[in-house]
Structures are given as C-alpha cells and as structure tokens.
Amino acid sequence: MNTKLFSFSFEKPIFSGFSGSARFLAGMEGVQDLGNILLNSLEDSKNVAGIQYNPDQEEYWNIIRKKIKTFTDAELYFLIWSPKIRDKKIRKLISNEQSQRR
C-alpha cells in the first residue's frame, strides 16, 4: 500500500468524517484535484482508500488497521488537519501497521 499524506494547518477538522472533508476539498480551488481523488475513494474502488486523523474517534486505529488489511494494493490518502499532529509520527505509526500485515 502506497501512503500519501496531506496535512493542513487547521485548528481541527471542519468535518469529523473523511467523506465530508473530501467534498469540502473538491469544492475549493487549489485542492480540487485532491478532493476529487478523495471523492472517488468513497466509491467501491479498491485502488484508492482514504482516512483522516481524528483523535476524537475512539475506533480510529481499528479503522486504519481495517483499511490497511482490506485495501492491500490501494493508495491510502491520509488527511491531517491539526497542526499539532506531526507527519513523521503518523507515517511511523502507519508504517508499523503495514509491516505487521506483511
């Protein structure tokens, strides 16, 4: 799985769910292409999967694990809104999850 990570300097996500964020990005200029790719990931395609970091979501890491398990050959698009979350930390955590699946 190839992971693409996008981070934004927002205080918190506008929408807590990935699908709302995808629609927001698709409506704005400059990030529209990314938004459209993310919107496609909402369909049943196995090529693209998406998730956003949401520390308030209790089941968060279970969802990530499920995505990594289900979409083994997909590109994983990862959205981070809060500037407090460091990219490196997230990349390391995802990498660890992926290596455990191999």
Partner 1 sequence: MRFQLHKKIYHFIWSIWKKKSLVVNGYCISYCELPWMLLIGSKGSKSWFQNGMCITYIPDQTIMIFISSKENPSTISYTIYHEYIEGLCSLKQREVEVSSLFLQAMESLKEYDSNIGGQFMKSVEKKEDKTQQSCHCIALAIELALAKSEMDSDKFRAYLENALLERL
d(CA 10, CA 27): 17
Residue among 49, 61, 67, 70 nearest 90 (CA): 61
Binding track over 49-88 against partner 1, x by CB under 8 A = --------------------------------x-------
Q: Is 31 in the site for partner 1 (CB under 8 A)?
A: yes
Q: Are 28 and 35 contacting, i.e. CB atoms less than 8 angstroms apart? A: yes
Per rule CB under 8 A, is residue 43 in the interface with partner 1?
A: no
Residue 51, classed as helix, strand or coil, is: strand
Sheet holding 75-80, edge to edge: 2-7, 75-80, 48-52
- Select from 16-24, 43-51, 65-73, 89-97 the region that touches partner 1 (CB under 8 A): 16-24
What is the rounded CA–CA span in Å between residue 58 and residue 74?
Answer: 24
In angstroms, what is the minimal distance from the CB of 8 to partner 1? Answer: 8
Closer residue to partner 1, CB minimum distance, 17 or 55: 17
- Applying CB under 8 A, among 3, 5, 6, 23 the residue interacting with partner 1 is 23
State the residues that interact with partner 1 by CB under 8 A: 8-17, 19-24, 26-32, 81
